[in-house]
Amino acid sequence: MRIFKCNSCDYGSVSSKYTCPACRTGKLEVEEVSPKGMVFSFTDIHIAPAEFADIAPYTIALIQLDDADVKVTARMDGPVQIGDEVNLDKIDGGAFLYTKI
């Protein structure tokens, strides 16, 4: 998956920004890394926004990638626990859908 890493500090993100929000001087450069990671935290969504009401309840997890110091917010295909190994299933309309390994 594509991430954006700062060329002057350790900041990394899955979303592109004009300049680094951490050091404010660095430029973000594209890097390809494995989407595999570990569940850092998660929350179950019971009351969903209208566009997701038909799939509620569902789980949103914050995933720490294995290969980069970057966390990804993703929708899970089922329940997870902190520490679970997960991998990218697909990207749907800009949203990351992850699945347990």
Positive or negative: CA dihedral 87, 70, 51, 90: negative
- Give the residue among 71, 85, 57 at the shortest CA–CA distance from 1: 71
Report the C-alpha dihedral over residues 72, 6, 11, 14, rounded to 10 degrees. -10
In the window 25-54, what residues touch Zn ion (CB under 5 A)? 26
Instruction: Please report how close the Cβ of residue 24 comes to Zn ion at its closest, in angstroms.
Output: 7
Instruction: Please report how close the Cβ of residue 20 comes to Zn ion at its closest, in angstroms.
Output: 3
Could you say whether residue 20 binds Zn ion (CB under 5 A)? yes
How many other CB atoms are there within 10 angstroms of residue 75's CB atom? Answer: 17
Could you say whether residue 23 binds Zn ion (CB under 5 A)? yes
Work out which of 1, 3, 6, 65 binds Zn ion, going by CB under 5 A: 6
Contact positions vs Zn ion (CB under 5 A): 6, 9, 11, 20, 22-23, 26
